[in-house]
Amino acid sequence: MADSPVQPAPKLSQRKLAATQRGHDFQPLRPADREASISQLPDDPVDLFHRFCPESLVEKWVVWTNSWAKHRIEQRANAADSGKPDDEEELDDEEEDTSAPKWVPTTVAEIYIFLAVLIYMGNHPEQRIQDHWIEDKEPGAGDPTHRIMKYMTYPRFTQLFRYIRIFDPFDEPADNLSRLLSRVTPWSEHIQQAATDLFQPGLNVAVDECMIRFTGRSNAKVTIPRKPTPEGLKIWVVADHGYFLRWIFHLPGQKPEIKFPQEPHEPELAPTQAVVLDLVRRLETNNHHVFFDNLFTTVELLRALRRDGNAATGTARTGSGIWEEHRESKLRDNTGKLDWQYNTLKAIPTSDNLVNQIAWKDNALVLFMTTYFTGLEFEDIDTAIEFAAVHGKL
């Protein structure tokens, strides 16, 4: 692959060969420990909300929403005059409510009220959306805490819900999946920047895949049956204490959008591993200890993170390129034929002594790779149990 911008990923035969070669003097990478810190927050909660949804952004939404509403209303009127149906695909579910009031251009203040209504509805679910506007309910039926009808009528809410645009509706990529990203990228990038402006992560961060519940129609929707949220939109996330710092949207059938590509001299990572490296590089801080699960862990990823000054630890699968004897031990353990005592731990460094490959006997044999731990840390059974508990939450 002479034309490749990076060195090609190791072939399976190369990985198998490397798994039979070992070092004898592991060199741990220990970035300085530090706690996460929170910047001075605004005194007014509304001001804090504006950090994530600034007026300058909402002003654009107002222009786009009003332009789109005018365009769609004119489009329907022309279709009615000509006797031709309005067949725009993406809006085939936008049936005009003949009882709805005439469209009146929206404003910044009204869009903020609309957002407040959406947030309130998320915190106060009802059987139907329109039930939030019912004032006289039977006793004990759970009246709304806030009477949103004082601020926005239901017909106006449905109008805004139909026409609101947080992207320029007349300037979109032709590719369907790229269009999905273009619609959310400006606000998403602003939220990420605001998130890291307000919160500086500590030493330990975690990378994982997450699901945003969504049951509607979208080419970006995925189904992962064993997830707590099995259906929705998938994102790759780097977080600290459950606080999302940076994320990348997953689009089925496409490689993740990498912001910081690898250098020509760096060995190529598979797309899933490249996501981890890119997310950590997007942080405005460095020298972290990055945790992830066995979906991501390979020797190549840990080396790449180490070159950037970041330590890493992750559970490993038998096909991750881990030390061959560890792989065989795991296979024997799966069939109940491994005779290791509980809490037995064996650590074998890679041939360059930069990645430690550990097999640890819990109820089942756990394989993981690390550039941080030597293995001696787990001689204390309490430390081992704590590691298992923490790592299980990643």
pLDDT in tens, 315-349: 999 999 999 999 999 999 999 999 999 999 999 99
Residues 142 and 231 in one domain: no
The structure's pTM equals 0.83
pLDDT surpasses 50 at 211: yes
Q: What's the rounded mean pLDDT across residues 61-83?
A: 89
Confidence of residue 86 (pLDDT cuts 50, 70, 90): low
pLDDT surpasses 80 at 92: no
Confidence of residue 219 (pLDDT cuts 50, 70, 90): confident
Residue that finishes a domain, picked among 110, 143, 163: 163
For residue range 285-303, what is the model confidence (pLDDT) as tens digits? Answer: 889 999 999 999 999 999 9
Kindly state whether residue 318 falls inside one of the protein's structural domains: yes
Task: Give the pLDDT of residue 4.
Answer: 36
Q: What's the rounded mean pLDDT across residues 87-102?
A: 53
Kindly state whether residue 168 falls inside one of the protein's structural domains: no
Helix (H) or strand (E) holding 387: helix 381-391
Residues 49 and 153 in one domain: yes
Question: Cα dihedral sign for 129, 135, 138, 144?
Answer: positive
Kindly state whether residue 4 falls inside one of the protein's structural domains: no
Residues 271-285: b if buried by 16+ CB within 10 A, e if exposed: eebbbbbbbbbbbeb
Residues 318 and 366 in one domain: yes
For residue range 136-162, what is the model confidence (pLDDT) as tens digits? Answer: 666 555 566 678 889 999 999 999 999
Residues 62 and 27 in one domain: no
Gap between the Cα atoms of 26 and 225, Å rounded: 39
Task: Give the pLDDT of residue 80.
Answer: 73
Task: Give the pLDDT of residue 393.
Answer: 43
Residues 185 and 294 in one domain: yes
Lowest mean pLDDT among 177-186, 229-238, 368-377: 177-186
Residues 230 and 346 in one domain: yes
Residues 147 and 247 in one domain: no
pLDDT more than 70, % of the chain: 83
In the predicted model, what is the mean pLDDT of the chain? Answer: 86
Kindly state whether residue 1 falls inside one of the protein's structural domains: no
Domain of residue 111 covers 45-163
Task: Give the pLDDT of residue 70.
Answer: 95
Kindly state whether residue 216 falls inside one of the protein's structural domains: yes
pLDDT surpasses 70 at 97: no
Kindly state whether residue 170 falls inside one of the protein's structural domains: no
Residues 148 and 223 in one domain: no
- CA-based nearest residue to 190, from 247, 228, 151, 243: 247
Residue that finishes a domain, picked among 107, 138, 163: 163
Residue 119 exposed, middle or buried by CB count within 10 Å (0-12, 13-18, 19+): exposed
Residues 114 and 241 in one domain: no
Evaluate whether 372 touches 313 at the Cβ level (below 8 Å): yes
Tokens of 248: 């990348």
Residues 357 and 312 in one domain: yes
Q: At what angle do helices 55-82 and 108-123 cross, to 10 degrees?
A: 90
Confidence of residue 105 (pLDDT cuts 50, 70, 90): very high
Residue 4 exposed, middle or buried by CB count within 10 Å (0-12, 13-18, 19+): exposed
Q: What's the rounded mean pLDDT across residues 376-392?
A: 60
Count: domains in the chain: 2
pLDDT surpasses 50 at 6: no
CATH code at 182?
Answer: 3.90.350
Kindly state whether residue 77 falls inside one of the protein's structural domains: yes
Residues 340 and 273 in one domain: yes
Task: Give the pLDDT of residue 96.
Answer: 52
Residue that finishes a domain, picked among 122, 142, 163: 163
Q: How far is CA 104 from CA 65, 71, 72, 74, 337, in A?
A: 11, 13, 13, 14, 73
Residues 129 and 21 in one domain: no
For residue range 233-258, what is the model confidence (pLDDT) as tens digits? Answer: 999 999 999 999 999 999 888 888 88
Task: Give the pLDDT of residue 313.
Answer: 97
Kindly state whether residue 137 falls inside one of the protein's structural domains: yes
pLDDT surpasses 60 at 2: no
- CA-based nearest residue to 207, from 303, 285, 272, 284: 272
